[in-house]
Structure 1
C-alpha cells in the first residue's frame, strides 16, 4: 500500500515534490507584496508623485492581488486603514488570494479578511462601506468564507450588518451546508436560530443533512432533524443515511436507523448496514466488523418474528472482474466467506455496485482502489481486470472526456510504465514482474481512441460547451493515448515480436493517425508526440519512463510517419512537428532525424519567421551537432529561400503549385 499513498496509481498525487516550490514562491511573492506597500507609503508621504500615479500604485496587482487585498489577507490592520483612509483605495477591488494551497479568484478585500479570521479588519471594511454580500468568481460571500473556517464572531457581525445567510456559491452550497460539513456546531446553531433553509438543495441535490452525515457530526445532525430536516435524495439517489454508510460514520448510521426515530424504511436500513459493511472492508480493513454488519442486515431481511422476508435481488449479473461473486443468501453462507479475505473484498464491491449503482463515483473508485492493492501485491492481471471493469462502467454512464475516465486511462498508462521500469531492474525479493504485451495495452488503447472519438463528436455537435476546455481535456486523453502507443511501438523492437503482433501494432497506431485530430493551438497528434506535453507525460513529472527513454519517443514518431502522419503539418502558430521537437532541451536527435528522413523541411519558417535551427540556437543547441544540414537542403529549398529573402515578386511568375513552398521558406 505504500505505492498507492505516494500516488503511483493516480489516486492521491504526491505533494512532497512541489510543496517546497510553492513555499518558496509564496515567500518570494510576499516579499514583492511588501515592497509594493512600502513604495506606496513612500510615494504618499513624500508627495513626489501625482495623485494619478498613487492611484495606479494602490490599484496595482502583485500575483493577482492589490495592496488592500494583500493587507486584508495577512491581517495588516494599520496598512489597510492607511490604504483606505489616506490612499482612498477601492474597497471593492477584487484580487487573487491563496488559502490552503488553493487560489481564490476575484476575492474582494472583505472576503479575504473574513476568510482569514481578521475581525478588526472586517469591522474596518464594513464601516468604510464595503458590500457585505460581495462575492468571488465562484459566488462565495464573506459570510460563507467565515462559516468555512469557523469564525463565529465574524459570522455574527456580518449577519448583524446585513449579510444574507441564503446566498449560495456556484455549486449551490449555502452557509448552513458548509458549517455542517466542516462541523462548526456553534455557527450551525446560530444559522438555524435565524431560520436558515434546512432542506435547501445544492446543484447536485444534496442538503445540509447530507453534508452533516458525510462529516460525522452527530450533534449537528440532531439539531438539523430537530429543525425539520428530511431524508431527501441527491442526484445520485443517495440519502444522508447512505452518505454516512459510504464514509463509514457508524454512529450516524446507528442514530438514523434506530427504530425509535422512524426515519427510514426497513429496506433503507438493510441497504445502509450492507453498504457500511462494504466500507468496513475497503476503508477500515475490518473483516469481522463487516461480517457483523452483514449479519444484522441478513437478520433484518429474514426476521425471526415471521414478518415478510426481503430476499436479495436475484437478477444481479455475475461479473468476471469480481470472480463471478454471488452474494450470500443466508447467515451460514456469510460465515463461510469470512475464511476467504478475497471473497470478502469481492462481496464489498458487489454490494456497493448493487446499492450505489455504476454511476456513483465511489463505485468505480473502490474498484480501482482494489485493483491498485492487487498491483502492489504483484497481481497485475487481477488489477487490469478490475480496472477494465471500472473503466467500462465510467464510459457507459459518464459524458465524453470525463475527468474520472481520464484518471482511469492514466492509471493504466502508469501501471504499464511501472511494470517496464521494474522489469529493467534486478528482481526485488524474488518478485518477478511479467512483461507488458500487446494484448495488455491494446484493449486500453482502443478505449482511449474511442474516448477521443466521443470528444471529437462533442466538438462537432451543436451543444453549448466550453470549446477551449473541451480541447484541453481532449488533448489530455490524446497524450495518454500517445503514451500507450509508445509502449506498443517499443514492442516492435522486442525479439518476441511476431509478424502478427507487428501487424496488429501498425493497425492500432494507424487508427490514431487516421483520426486527423486537432487539439489546442491547432496541433495534430504528431505535433503533440513531438512536444513538451508528451515529454512531461512520458519522461517528466507525469509518468515514470522505462530505462533510457527519450523525452519523446523516436520509435513512435517513426511509426506514425510511416503510417501517414504529415511531417509538414502546421499548428496555429505555424510550427511544424520539427519546430516543437527543437523547442525541447535537450533536443531529441533521433526524432529530428526521423522527421527529416520522412520529408520535414529543415528551413521551414513558422509565423514568427523562425526555422527549427533558429529555435535550437535560442536554447544554446546546434543543429549541426544533430544532422548535416546540407543533406536535407534541396535546390528547391534554396531557390524558395532566395525568393523569400530578397522579397522577389513570384505570384505571377512561378507556377501556383510552388507558391506554398516559397511561403513556408
Structure 2
C-alpha cells in the first residue's frame, strides 16, 4: 500500500493532487504504449501514470467480481476515483481496457450501481460506442455498440431498465447499424424486446446490411409473433433480397416458417441469386422444411426435382439409403414426365471425369461405392447451383475432408483434386484477400505437408499423391493473384482481416517452394521452379504486418499452418528453417539485407537461437549480408553469432573497414550529420539502432 502526492497543471492553474492508496498486483501493469488510453497532465511521470493505470485495473477487477453483484464500488476505490481531476475521471470511464470500456462491462454484468457511479461521478458518455464483449451479432469479431446494446447482448434486463431510465437512446446504432432491439432479438430476449418496444424502439428499422428485427428473431416463434403484432414488415429485404422467410429457413425452425407463411410471407420470393426458400432448404439439407413446403405449395416439376436431387446430395455420408431413395424418386418422375436433367454440364477432371447417373440401373452400380456417391453429389450441386455457389464450394471442401481422412493414396488424390478446384474458383470469385480463400489454401498446404511426410512410406502400391505440375499451378495461381492485389493493399487504411489473409497466403509461399523442390524429378522441373521463384523475388513480395520477406520466412521457424480439414501428420517447423529454399532465393536475387518491421535482416533472424542453422547463416554471409547491421533493439548478427561455440565463421574477415569506421562513429557518439557525404551519412545511419 502506498500514497503519492504530485502536482498537476491545468493551463495556468496548479493544484496539489494526492493519488490515494492502491494495491499493486504483480504483472498487471501494461506496456507504456497503453498509457495514452488514460492520459493525465503532461508533467506526470511513469510512476504516476502507473498508479493511475492501477486504479483502472482495480476498477475492472471490482466490476468483474461476481461477489459484488448488487453492490457498488468499494469505499476505498470510490474515494481514489473521486479524488482524481474531472478530466482524468472521464478518461478513466471512457477508456478502453482489454477491448472494453468500464461502463460496458458494468452494464453487461448488471452492476447498475457501478454504472450509475461512472455516469454521475465520472461523466461517462451513456451513448459512447465501444466494444461489447458479449455482442452476439458477430461473435467472431469485435463490433462497436452503445452500452444499451451491450446490456441487451448480455440479456441483463436490470441494466437495460436503468439505462433507459437515464435517457439512453433506445435506437442507438452499433457499428453495423444495428439497434439494441436488433441485438435483443438475436439474443432471443423476449422481456427485453417487449420493454424496448414499449419505450419506443422501432421494430421496422434495418441495419447497414438490411437486416430487420424480424430477421434476427426467426429462431423464436413467440418473438416473431410479437414483432408481427407490433407492425414488423414481413416483406422487408436485406441487401441480398433475402426476406425473414429466407432467414427462418436458414435457421431451420419449421414453426417460425409456418407462422411467417400464415402471415403472408411470399414462398416464391427469390434472392439476388435467384433462390427461393425451397431451394435454400434443399441445399442446406433441411428435409423437414423442404417436405413441408412441397406439401403446402405446388411447384413447377423441374423446381421440385432440383430440390429433391439436392436433398439427396446433402445426405450422402450421413444416410446413403435416404439419398439413394430421393434420387430414385426423381429418376421415376423424370421418366414419367419425359424430363431430362437440366442444364447439362461437361465432365470435370477434378471429378474423375465422372458423369451423373441417368437411371436406376446406373445408380445401382454405384450404390455401395461411397467415394463415387460423394462425387455424384458434387456433380449434382454444380448442375443445379453452379460451381461458383458458396454451398457448392463448401461441399467440395467437406467431401475432400472425408476423402483425406481415409489416408489412402487414391482418396488423397481425390481430395487434392476437389480442394484445388475449390481454390481456383475462390481465387476467381474473391481473390486471395477473402477468408475462405485463405482457409482453402491452408487446407491444401497442410495436406501437402502430410504428403511430404509420407515420402518415407512411399511404395509402388502406395505412391505419393503429390504431382509437380499441380503444385506448380497452385504456386503460380497464388503468386499471380498476390501480384494483382499487392498495389491495392498499399493504399491506407487496410482492413485488418484483409491484411491477415494476405499474410496468411504469403507465409505459405516458402512452403510451396519446399514442396516443389522436394518432388521435382528432373532438370526441366527445377528450371520451372527457378523461373517461378525469380518472378516472386522480382515483385518483392513481403508480409504486410511484420514486413518479412521470403528470405526472412525461409530462414526462420514459421508459425504453424492450421486447418480444420486435415488430420495432422507433420508440422511446418519440420521443414524450416530451410537451407534449400534459402539458397534458391539467394540465387534468384533476393535482397540479403532487406529489413522487416523491426529492422532485422534475414541474417539476424537466422542467428536467433530458435532459428539457428549454420549452413543458412554461412550462405547469407557469403552472399554479402552485413554482420553488424543492428535492429531496433540494438541486436547485431555478429553479437549473436559470437555466442555459438559451433560457429566457425571468421567474423572479422566479413566486416569491412568501412563498417568498422561507421560503428566507431556510432559507439562514440561522434557528430556526423552534415559532415559527411550523403552516401556515407546514410551508411553510418544504417549502423545506428533506432
Using structure 1 for the length normalisation, give the TM-score.
0.82
In structure 2, distance between residues paired with 1:371 and 1:522: 33
In structure 2, distance between residues paired with 1:373 and 1:135: 43
Deviations 1:186-241 (A, max 9, x none): 11111111221212222233221111112221111111112222222223332211
Are 1:515 and 2:551 an aligned pair?
no
The match for 1:333 is 362
Deviations 1:638-664 (A, max 9, x none): 13333455546486765x665543332
The match for 1:481 is 509
Q: Give the Å deviation of 1:431.
A: 10
In structure 1, distance between residues paired with 2:456 and 2:674: 58
In structure 2, distance between residues paired with 1:63 and 1:387: 38
In structure 2, distance between residues paired with 1:433 and 1:137: 53
Q: Give the Å deviation of 1:572.
A: 5.6
Greater CA deviation, 431-440 or 480-489? Answer: 431-440
The match for 1:22 is none
- Asked if 1 retains the 8 angstrom alpha-carbon contact of 2:672 and 2:681, the reply is no
Q: Give the Å deviation of 1:245.
A: 0.8
* 1:223-234 mapped onto 2 (5 Å cutoff): 223-230=259-266, 231-234=268-271
Are 1:158 and 2:192 an aligned pair?
no
- Relative to structure 1, the CA distance from residue 210 to residue 662 in structure 2 (aligned partners, 3 Å threshold; closer, same or farther) is same
The match for 1:604 is 629
Are 1:236 and 2:260 an aligned pair?
no
In structure 1, distance between residues paired with 2:562 and 2:226: 53
The match for 1:16 is none
Q: Give the Å deviation of 1:442.
A: 2.0
- Relative to structure 1, the CA distance from residue 177 to residue 546 in structure 2 (aligned partners, 3 Å threshold; closer, same or farther) is closer
The match for 1:9 is none
- Relative to structure 1, the CA distance from residue 583 to residue 540 in structure 2 (aligned partners, 3 Å threshold; closer, same or farther) is farther
* 1:117-196 mapped onto 2 (5 Å cutoff): 117-180=155-218, 183-196=219-232
Deviations 1:539-567 (A, max 9, x none): 99998755973653232122101111111
- Asked if 1 retains the 8 angstrom alpha-carbon contact of 2:433 and 2:502, the reply is yes
- Relative to structure 1, the CA distance from residue 142 to residue 572 in structure 2 (aligned partners, 3 Å threshold; closer, same or farther) is same
Greater CA deviation, 154-163 or 315-324? Answer: 315-324
* 1:488-567 mapped onto 2 (5 Å cutoff): 488-490=516-518, 497-520=521-544, 523=547, 525-526=549-550, 528-529=552-553, 535-537=558-560, 545=570, 549=574, 551-567=576-592
- Relative to structure 1, the CA distance from residue 518 to residue 241 in structure 2 (aligned partners, 3 Å threshold; closer, same or farther) is same
Question: Which residue, 103, 109, 126 being the options, matches 1:74?
Answer: 109
In structure 2, distance between residues paired with 1:174 and 1:274: 32
Gaps (5+ residues) in structure 2?
A: 1-55, 65-71
The match for 2:664 is 642
- Asked if 2 retains the 8 angstrom alpha-carbon contact of 1:578 and 1:612, the reply is no
3-state SS in 2 of match to 1:520: coil
Deviations 1:52-101 (A, max 9, x none): 44444333433132222111112224333444456554322333232376
The match for 1:663 is 685
The RMSD of aligned alpha carbons is: 3.7
3-state SS in 2 of match to 1:359: coil
Greater CA deviation, 245-254 or 74-83? Answer: 74-83
- Asked if 1 retains the 8 angstrom alpha-carbon contact of 2:107 and 2:151, the reply is yes
The match for 1:364 is 393
- Relative to structure 1, the CA distance from residue 206 to residue 612 in structure 2 (aligned partners, 3 Å threshold; closer, same or farther) is farther
The match for 2:327 is 294
In structure 1, distance between residues paired with 2:98 and 2:321: 53
- Relative to structure 1, the CA distance from residue 62 to residue 314 in structure 2 (aligned partners, 3 Å threshold; closer, same or farther) is closer
- Asked if 2 retains the 8 angstrom alpha-carbon contact of 1:198 and 1:208, the reply is yes
- Asked if 1 retains the 8 angstrom alpha-carbon contact of 2:234 and 2:265, the reply is yes
Question: Which residue, 339, 342, 356 being the options, matches 1:313?
Answer: 342
In structure 1, distance between residues paired with 2:573 and 2:291: 56
- Asked if 1 retains the 8 angstrom alpha-carbon contact of 2:400 and 2:414, the reply is yes
* 1:320-469 mapped onto 2 (5 Å cutoff): 320-377=349-406, 378=408, 379-423=411-455, 434=464, 436=466, 438-439=468-469, 441-456=471-486, 458-459=488-489, 466=494
- Asked if 2 retains the 8 angstrom alpha-carbon contact of 1:71 and 1:77, the reply is yes
3-state SS in 2 of match to 1:146: helix
Are 1:33 and 2:60 an aligned pair?
yes
Q: Give the Å deviation of 1:102.
A: 4.1
The match for 2:22 is none
- Asked if 1 retains the 8 angstrom alpha-carbon contact of 2:145 and 2:175, the reply is yes
Deviations 1:576-635 (A, max 9, x none): 3334445674545543333222111011245x4834349959xxx947765543242122
- Relative to structure 1, the CA distance from residue 189 to residue 62 in structure 2 (aligned partners, 3 Å threshold; closer, same or farther) is same
- Asked if 2 retains the 8 angstrom alpha-carbon contact of 1:209 and 1:224, the reply is yes
In structure 1, distance between residues paired with 2:280 and 2:551: 45
- Relative to structure 1, the CA distance from residue 386 to residue 301 in structure 2 (aligned partners, 3 Å threshold; closer, same or farther) is same
The match for 1:280 is 315
In structure 2, distance between residues paired with 1:112 and 1:539: 32
3-state SS in 2 of match to 1:348: helix
- Relative to structure 1, the CA distance from residue 562 to residue 545 in structure 2 (aligned partners, 3 Å threshold; closer, same or farther) is farther
- Asked if 2 retains the 8 angstrom alpha-carbon contact of 1:603 and 1:613, the reply is yes
Question: Which residue, 645, 652, 655 being the options, matches 1:630?
Answer: 652
Greater CA deviation, 497-506 or 62-71? Answer: 497-506
- Relative to structure 1, the CA distance from residue 32 to residue 557 in structure 2 (aligned partners, 3 Å threshold; closer, same or farther) is farther
- Asked if 2 retains the 8 angstrom alpha-carbon contact of 1:279 and 1:348, the reply is yes
In structure 2, distance between residues paired with 1:366 and 1:585: 40
In structure 1, distance between residues paired with 2:471 and 2:245: 44
In structure 2, distance between residues paired with 1:568 and 1:246: 53
Structure with larger RCO (C-alpha < 8 A, sep 6+):
1
Deviations 1:239-262 (A, max 9, x none): 21111112211111112122x533
Using structure 2 for the length normalisation, give the TM-score.
0.79
Q: Give the Å deviation of 1:290.
A: 1.1
- Relative to structure 1, the CA distance from residue 337 to residue 421 in structure 2 (aligned partners, 3 Å threshold; closer, same or farther) is closer
- Relative to structure 1, the CA distance from residue 551 to residue 399 in structure 2 (aligned partners, 3 Å threshold; closer, same or farther) is closer
